[in-house]
Amino acid sequence: MSRIVSTASEALAGVVKVPSDKSISHRSVIFGAIADGVTQVSNLLEGEDVLATVSAFRDMGVEIEGPEQGEARIAGVGSSGLKAAGRELDLGNSGTSMRLLTGLLAGQHFDSRLTGDASLRRRPMNRVVVPLQEMGARVETVDGRPPLDIYGVDTLKGIRYHLPVASAQVKSAILLAGLYAHGRTTVIEPTSTRDHTERMLSGFAGASWDRKGPVASDAAVVLSGQSLTIPGDISSAAFFLVAASLRRNSDLLLPGVGINPTRCAVLDILKLMGADIQVSRERVESNEPVCDLRVRSAALHGIDIPAEFVANAIDEFPVIAVAAAGASGITRIRGASELRVKESDRIAAVVQGLQQLGVDAVEYPDGMDITGGSFVSGSVDSFGDHRIAMAFAVAGCIGEGSVEIREADNIRTSFPDFVPLMNSAGLSLEEIS
């Protein structure tokens, strides 16, 4: 088990290529596997979560070359070409893999069992399972948690489903199941969530997919192999944006970052806090908006984070909390109860970690209050959560003394080169086995 020690750093400067988008990487493998023909993917994230998805499809008979230096070739087997794996599919720590594959496998003719590590086996799955069962799927859980047993069915039925809680993973699982359902499957969201699945469906299905009105899918959709380039991950970029904002005299350029409008609320939040972030060279690549981000140091101040930004910045809140701790005044976060059911209880983990570093932080059922101030030396627990570990590594760069983050191995799930890449930008991180 490794740990990271983060100490006060100099200014951040230079040009940094952030890791590829994890959410889009997962979906490129899934759609490439069930499409007709070959899908060529460039800049695929080679983190443990995405590799778990790759491994699962190999076990189900899909030929995948790579990924090697981000390049992968997926020989699609078509919508009905997947085969029973013959063993349980171990998805490691990847909740995205678990939820999306549950939707996809719910419509197959063969049985499957999905499992994962201890952390993933604690995560709730009924929000996915309940609508799938409404479609006629046969899915069994262990008290609503993995492992999941998914039994083959002849066909599913299309449904019109109102999401009780905004969730891109649940939406995507239902849409994937809809590709195997009789009739149209429609998902109504309480608020817009990341739309990578819809964008990818549009690319793979072309004119055979109509995305007017509420999001929908049906078995008439025909998927064809594509050539895709995965943009940089805005969630990974957020660690650099916060570190450079807080560290004096910083000036950092992050080229090729995805700015999907359902993902970039972190930019809006940081700008409201006074961050100096410039967007340039906006373009569209593989149906996703991309840009270059330049961030320079700025004096941040506390805000009440607008409710409309919460769903589309949910993965960035651990490092947003660090930005709040380094800002002046109080930052209030509410309406973020979804943070309780991530890889860890991120509300509790963030508040506990900040308190251990001398920051005034108060926990609420759906959020937290953070009073900005200086950090002191201390040791914090990541609770096996990659985003908690990386957020507190950023905290160390502006603290007095050093911050030790325990259980840092989990960072490899989404950001394999976190330590060397952050150090190349000017941070001072040491990984200790």
Active site residues: 315
Q: Give the C-alpha distances (Å, rounded to integers) separating 382 from 8, 182, 303, 316, 358.
A: 19, 44, 26, 15, 17
In the chain, what is the straight-line distance between the N-terminal and C-terminal CA atoms, in Å?
6
Q: Measure the CA angle with vertex 192, ends 189 and 347; round to 5°.
A: 95
Alpha helices in 333-414 (DSSP H): 346-356, 386-396
Q: Could you give the 3-state DSSP secondary structure of residue 420?
A: helix
* CB-CB neighbours of 358 under 10 Å: 15
- Collect all residues with Cβ–Cβ distance below 8 Å to 413 and sequence separation of at least 6: 47, 48, 49, 92, 93, 94, 386
Respond yes or no on whether the N-terminal peptide bond of residue 146 is cis (omega within 30° of 0).
Answer: no
Q: Strands, E, within 143-198: which ranges?
A: 145-151, 156-157, 160-162, 181-182, 185-188
Cα 223 from Cα 37, distance rounded (Å): 9
- The conformation of residue 322, written as its DSSP 8-state character, comes to H
Do 189 and 163 touch, CB atoms closer than 8 A? yes
